[in-house]
Amino acid sequence: MYAQYLLESASATRKKSSADSKVEYRLATPEDYDIVLEFTKSHFFREEPVCRNLVDSAQTLATFLGGKLKRALQSNLSALVIEKTTGELVGYRIATAVQRNAKIEDWEGENEENTNGARNPAMSASALEVFGEPKKNVWGCIPEGVDKIVRVELLFVRKDHQNKGIEKKLMKVFYGNRKLKEEGYEGILSDATSIVNQKLLAKDGFEPLKELLLADFEAEDGSKLPSIFDNGTTKLVLSFKRL
């Protein structure tokens, strides 16, 4: 049994190493906006659970996330995964720096701005609100004394590159705990709308700050969410890891 375990572990390691040899990671820059936006419309829109279950228009999603993507690409905290043979974008970590009591970076105001800009029949009120719901009053949940954090907005890998260890590496590439501490960061905040990412965050030491059961959510217009998404997700989780 133990020998079999070693063989399986070695096989899994080889697969991840092989996957790593086929992709490369680099920091994202503002010049990457067009390819990041197109990737979001072409892949994130079709594969992310909230989008796949609730959003009808890729363009509406782009309107909703456009400003957020632009700000994140200026942060020097976002990362891209590029397939070596094709040069195609196959995954990303979209992250920003957030300070307690900040004005421009305040995500509740940002979410309201995006929601108002994107509100139209192609995107239900429940879809718009559920993206922002976990982040409401979040500073009230983050421990006192923590004033500067990394906020991971999106962490996503294209379907054909999932389950190869890329998601796990994306969580840390270009910013180890020591580097972040040296730059004054005191924690990392990430919300997960996928059951897979929720498990990944938990394994990496993140603790849930807020949970939103899909079955309990009701939008302002009275619309509700399905109690379970098609990938098995039953809740949205906002998680935090102190550095």
Q: Facing residues of 79 across strands?
A: 27, 93
CB of 91 within 8 A of CB of 158?
yes
The vertex-110 CA angle with 48 and 157, nearest 5°, equals 25
Question: In angstroms, rounded to a whole number, what is the distance separating the alpha carbons of residues 115 and 162?
Answer: 30
86 inside domain: yes
- The residue whose two tokens read 């421990």 is 143
Domain-embedded: residue 236: yes
The tens digit of pLDDT for each residue in 6-32 reads 334 444 444 444 456 899 999 999 999
Residue 139: inside a domain, yes or no?
yes
Range of the domain at 179: 20-242
**Which pairing describes strands 207-213 and 187-192: parallel, antiparallel, or unpaired?**
unpaired
Whether 13 maps to a domain, the answer reads: no
Between the ranges 30-34, 138-142, 222-226, where is the mean pLDDT highest? 30-34
Q: What angle do CA 173, 231, 118 make, to 5 degrees?
A: 75
What is this structure's pTM? 0.79
The more confidently predicted of residues 175 and 118 is 175
CB 224 within 8 A of CB 218: yes
In a domain, 64, yes or no: yes
Domain membership flag for residue 220: yes
Domain count, the chain: 1
Residue 188 has pLDDT above 60, yes or no: yes
What CATH number is attached to the domain comprising 231?
A: 3.40.630.30
**Does residue 3 lie in a domain region?**
no
Q: Is residue 113 part of a domain?
A: yes
DSSP state letter for 76? T
